[in-house]
């Protein structure tokens, strides 16, 4: 069976989605299409703050465009589906967001994103805009690669970085403080994901890989690529500990530790399923004495219409927790 999607023209997929975002959230975001940017609507009388800019390939929505607004990003720079925005596009995002106190770039660790955001940072610095980069590399499935290789991919921990740094920026933190804070969140976050079914690119007829009915793909990323291996399909009570265990080991979590848990759908996983995943995660962490202080359960960092989920744990102290709990008002995250 072919995969059917709500698409008019695959070439216009991202730009038409951005038009929809603008129409849905005129009070929060200002969308421009050439270059493609989503910028927070500035309110009169707001004191200048350090601006937060993120972005990357499209297809991961609501990341990053849905996280523009008070308490999170000042601008998001969307590329084509699964392709980095260009260096000039990122530079335009930096200039649109800058309020004179510097710009923090939050970049998921992919070769194209790192290169284009780094170039944009250099170009902006030449125009006397202070820029710092926080690199997010939380995906455990890509841990332990070659020396000098691309390293771990960036996935759902980017939500925690954007939320926590966003809250600190609203309170007047400096660029250097925000960069340090963002790196602290990254170093305390790890993620593992599994897919029940691959995603289908807009306009394509077939999913990006095939899976047998009795297996799941373990360690997938967010670009429809295969993971690190297949495992037998089973009840959530078996699949969830298999995701959580390596994260606990990698972070060295022990009895008495506190975490923020992000149970994330990869695109077409039902909210009821994600709640079951969270139930199993809670039981598993409870069993080893790790306390979930706050949980975010829903589809926030997606791989188009992939069926599957990721689990991210962020080891937290009272500072990180307090910033996570601070108010936020964006199209996709608000409390």
Partner 1 sequence: MTTLTTEHARAWADRFVAVGAERDTELTELDRKAGDGDYGTNLRSALRRAAVNLSAGPASPHEVFLAVSEAFLNTGGTSGPLFGMWFREFAKAAKEKDVTAAVLGEAATNAVAVVQRLGKAEVGHKTMVDAMVPAAEALTAAAARGAGVSDALAEAASAAHAGAASTEKLLAKRGRASYVGEHARGVIDPGALTVAYFFDAAAPPRN
What is the set of active-site residues? 60, 223
Q: Name the site residues for partner 1 (rule: CB under 8 A).
A: 79-80, 83-89, 111-112, 115-116, 118-119, 123, 148
Give the helix/strand (H/E) hosting 249.
helix 236-251
Strand arrangement of the beta sheet that strand 103-108 belongs to: 29-33, 36-40, 75-81, 51-58, 103-108, 131-136
Phi, then psi, of 11 in degrees rounded to 5:
-70, -25
Q: Which of these, 156, 109, 110, lies nearest to 301 by C-alpha position?
A: 156
Residue (of 104, 113, 106) closest to 131 by Cα position: 104
Cβ atoms within 10 Å, residue 208:
18
Compare residues 24 and 115 and give the one whose CB is closer to partner 1. 115
Rounded to whole angstroms, the Cα distance separating 99 from 51 reads 7
Output phi, psi for 148, to 5 deg: 80, 0
DSSP state of 303: -
Instruction: Report whether 157 contacts 189 (CB < 8 A).
Output: yes
Q: Which residues is 135 bridged to in the sheet?
A: 107
Which residues contact residue 293 at a Cβ distance below 8 angstroms, ignoring those fewer than 6 apart? Answer: 258, 259, 260, 316, 321
The per-residue DSSP string of 120-184 comes to: HHHHHHHTT--EEEEEE--BGGGTT--TTS--SPP-THHHHHHHHHHHHHHTT--HHHHHHHHHH
Q: Which is nearer to partner 1, 135 or 323 (CB)?
A: 135
Q: Which is nearer to partner 1, 62 or 85 (CB)?
A: 85
Tokens of 170: 């609203």
Considering the complex, state which of residue 123 and residue 276 has its C-beta at the smaller distance from partner 1.
123
Q: Which is nearer to partner 1, 151 or 241 (CB)?
A: 151
Identify which of residues 81 and 253 has a Cβ nearer to partner 1 in the complex.
81
């Amino acid at each position: 069976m072919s995969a059917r999607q709500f698409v008019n023209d695959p070439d216009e997929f991202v730009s038409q989605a951005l038009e929809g975002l603008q129409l849905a959230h005129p009070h929060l975001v200002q969308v421009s299409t050439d270059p493609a940017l989503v910028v927070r609507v500035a309110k009169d009388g707001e004191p200048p703050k350090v601006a937060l800019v993120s972005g990357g390939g499209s297809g991961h929505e609501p990341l990053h465009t849905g996280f523009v607004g008070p308490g999170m990003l000042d601008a998001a720079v969307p590329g084509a589906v699964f392709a980095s925005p260009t260096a000039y596009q990122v530079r335009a995002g930096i200039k649109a967001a800058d309020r004179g106190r510097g710009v923090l770039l939050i970049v998921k660790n992919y070769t194209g994103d790192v290169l284009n955001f780094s170039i944009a940072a250099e170009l902006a610095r030449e125009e006397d805009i202070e820029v710092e980069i926080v690199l997010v590399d939380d995906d455990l499935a890509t841990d332990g690669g070659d020396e000098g290789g691309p390293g771990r991919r960036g996935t759902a921990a980017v939500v925690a970085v954007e939320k926590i740094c966003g809250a600190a920026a609203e309170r007047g933190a400096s660029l250097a403080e925000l960069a340090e804070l963002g790196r602290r969140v990254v170093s305390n976050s790890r993620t593992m994901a599994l897919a029940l079914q691959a995603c289908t690119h807009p306009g394509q007829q077939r999913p990006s890989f095939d899976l047998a009915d009795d297996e799941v793909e373990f360690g997938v990323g967010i670009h429809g690529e295969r993971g690190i291996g297949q495992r037998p399909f089973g009840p959530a009570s078996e699949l969830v500990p298999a995701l959580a265990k390596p994260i606990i080991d990698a972070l060295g979590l022990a009895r008495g530790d506190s975490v923020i848990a992000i149970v994330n759908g990869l695109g077409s996983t039902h909210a009821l399923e994600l709640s079951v995943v969270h139930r199993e995660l809670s039981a598993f962490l409870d069993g080893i004495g790790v306390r979930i202080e706050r949980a975010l359960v829903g589809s926030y960092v997606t791989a188009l219409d992939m069926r599957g989920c990721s689990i991210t744990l962020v080891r937290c102290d009272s500072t990180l927790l307090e910033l996570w709990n601070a108010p936020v008002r964006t199209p996709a995250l608000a409390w």
